[in-house]
């Protein structure tokens, strides 16, 4: 039976939200690094059911502390990401210097070899004999001095480049260690950022308007199999919006939407006979800050429009199965079309929330 079919056979007002799971997280400063550290928490997935949890009233939106923590964690992550990018660029520049120096050493070594061979060839011995028999001693001394200088200058230049190569290689080794350390820092920052996103979702969200098309942050892609398919996932992760569970992909989608700036009230898992919600594969994102109220208008409608557009734009990265918003449903294969399972109320019409199901 479809989700909407279930809703016809039950009273929407009779449903109630799952109790919220307290997803309090500890963020510790790493000594010497000024870094937030959190245990790595796996991602979880979106659920499917076309309506939110009845006319239930949500908890009040979270206070500024949860939003501020997420904002700070995002900034820390972006700073760490920029630092890693700068280090990798420095490594590329150093590699180019190393390659140029190696090529120069090879060229000088070849020249010096040719020069040495020239001195000991028969023709050069004849030339040397001719110089020694020259009637002008000054010419002879000048010629011999020039030959000696050419050899010595090449040898000195090779020594200088060899020393430079050793210095470059030492710098590269040290840089490799720094890059590895910075990569670890970035993982810690990402964990802290994702945990802060879960904390905001658990607190009831905020009233932020969210980004508009053109200012969207791209979602981080979910892991895929070598052939590009999505691996099987179970409902194995804690849902920060309820006491239920989510698949890693659904949790990832929830985190990414929150990090992108869509932090209003959200509810994911709930017990039902069918659909993706009880599988931990769907979330309902309220258009209003406080609850799943009436039809969204004005700023709330714009928030829902932008959120639905963001999920569509990042559907491949997140593994979106479909999106429902404002009497329309979007599938990757067919795009937006009329949603014919709406029954005139904000919940089934999906005019008060954006529904997202994850594969």
Band the pLDDT of 339: cuts 50, 70, 90.
very high
Instruction: Give residue 145's pLDDT.
Output: 56
- What does the pLDDT average to over 21-42? 33
What value does the mean pLDDT take over residues 320-348? 93
Name the burial class of residue 270, with classes exposed (0-12), middle (13-18) and buried (19+) by CB atoms within 10 angstroms of its CB. Answer: buried
> Cα(222)–Cα(131) distance, rounded to whole angstroms?
77
Q: Please give the pLDDT value at position 37.
A: 34
Residue 37: strand, helix, or coil: strand
Rounded Cα distance, 303 and 264, in Å: 9
Strands 282-286 and 35-37: unpaired
Give 206's pLDDT tier (boundaries 50, 70, 90).
Answer: confident
Strand partners, 335: 331
pLDDT at 86 over 70: yes
Cβ neighbours of residue 87 closer than 8 Å, sequence gap 6 or more: 175, 178, 179, 182
Is 0.75 topped by the overall pTM? no
Q: Pairing relation of β-strands 35-37 and 28-30?
A: antiparallel
Reported as a pLDDT band with limits 50, 70 and 90, residue 203 is confident
What ranges in 261-314 are assigned the alpha helix state H?
298-313
The SS3 assignment for 251 reads: helix
Q: Average the pLDDT over 19-28 and give the result.
A: 34
List pLDDT tens digits, range 2-12: 343 333 333 22
21-25, 127-131, 168-172 — which is least confidently predicted? 21-25
Average pLDDT over residues 248-272: 95
Question: pLDDT value at position 190?
Answer: 87
**Band of the pLDDT at 154, cuts 50, 70, 90?**
low
What percentage of the chain carries pLDDT values higher than 70? Answer: 67
77 token code pair: 């992550």
Task: In whole angstroms, give the CA distance from residue 355 to residue 18.
Answer: 17
pLDDT confidence bin for 26, thresholds 50/70/90: very low
Q: Residue 182: pLDDT above 70?
A: yes
283 pLDDT more than 70 = yes
Q: Is the pLDDT of residue 52 over 80?
A: no
The Cα–Cα gap between 246 and 268 comes to 8
Residue 350 φ/ψ, nearest 5 degrees:
55, 45
Q: Phi-psi region for residue 116, left (φ > 0), alpha (ψ -120 to 50) or beta?
A: alpha
How does strand 266-267 pair with strand 245-246? unpaired
- Mean pLDDT calculated for residue range 77-95: 83
What's the confidence (pLDDT) of residue 114?
66
Please determine, for residue 267, whether its predicted confidence score (pLDDT) is greater than 80. yes
Q: Which of 67-71, 138-142, 206-210, 311-315 has the highest mean pLDDT?
A: 311-315
Which one, of 214, 351, 236, 233, lies nearest residue 296 by Cα?
A: 351
pLDDT, residue 60, reads 40
The whole-number average pLDDT for the span 35-46 is: 32
Closest CA to 358 of 256, 206, 243: 256
What integer pLDDT is reported at residue 41 of this predicted model? 31
DSSP code, position 231: P
- Check residue 218 and report its DSSP letter: P
- Flag the least confident range among 28-32, 132-136, 143-147, 285-289: 28-32
Nearest CA to 291 out of 66, 47, 7, 56 is that of 56
Contact residues for 140 (Cβ-Cβ < 8 A; gap 6+)? 131, 132, 134
Residue 64: both structure tokens together: 């500024």
Using DSSP's 3-state secondary structure scheme, residue 272 falls into: coil
């Amino acid at each position: 039976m479809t989700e909407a079919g279930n809703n016809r056979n039950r009273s929407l007002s009779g449903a109630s939200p799952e109790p919220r799971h307290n997803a309090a997280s500890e963020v510790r400063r790493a000594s010497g690094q000024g870094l937030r550290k959190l245990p790595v928490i796996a991602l979880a997935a979106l659920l499917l059911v076309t309506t939110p949890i009845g006319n239930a009233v949500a908890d009040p939106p979270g206070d500024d502390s949860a939003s501020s923590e997420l904002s700070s964690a995002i900034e820390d992550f972006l700073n760490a990401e920029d630092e890693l990018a700068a280090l990798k660029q420095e490594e590329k520049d150093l590699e180019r210097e190393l390659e140029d120096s190696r090529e120069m050493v090879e060229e000088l070594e070849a020249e010096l070899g040719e020069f040495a061979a020239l001195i000991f060839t028969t023709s050069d011995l004849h030339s040397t004999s001719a110089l020694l028999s020259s009637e002008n001693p000054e010419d002879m001394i000048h010629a011999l001095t020039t030959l000696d200088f050419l050899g010595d200058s090449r040898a000195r230049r090779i020594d200088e480049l060899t020393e430079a190569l050793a210095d470059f290689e030492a710098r590269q080794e040290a840089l490799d260690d720094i890059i590895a350390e910075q990569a670890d820092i970035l993982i810690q920052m990402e964990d802290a950022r994702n945990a802060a996103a879960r904390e905001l979702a658990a607190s009831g969200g905020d009233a932020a308007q969210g980004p508009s098309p053109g200012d969207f942050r791209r979602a981080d892609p979910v892991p895929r199999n070598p052939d590009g398919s999505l691996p099987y996932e179970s409902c194995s992760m804690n849902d920060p919006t309820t006491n239920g569970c989510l698949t890693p992909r659904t949790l990832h989608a929830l985190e990414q939407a929150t990090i992108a700036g869509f932090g209003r009230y959200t509810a994911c898992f709930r017990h039902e006979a069918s659909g993706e919600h009880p599988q931990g594969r769907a979330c309902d994102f309220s258009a209003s800050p406080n609850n799943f109220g009436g039809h969204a208008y004005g700023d709330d409608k714009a928030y829902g429009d932008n959120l639905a557009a963001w999920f569509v734009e990042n559907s491949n990265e997140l593994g979106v199965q479909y999106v429902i918003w404002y009497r329309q449903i979007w599938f990757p294969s067919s795009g937006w079309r009329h949603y014919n399972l709406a029954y005139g109320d904000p919940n089934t019409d999906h005019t008060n929330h954006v529904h997202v199901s994850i594969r």
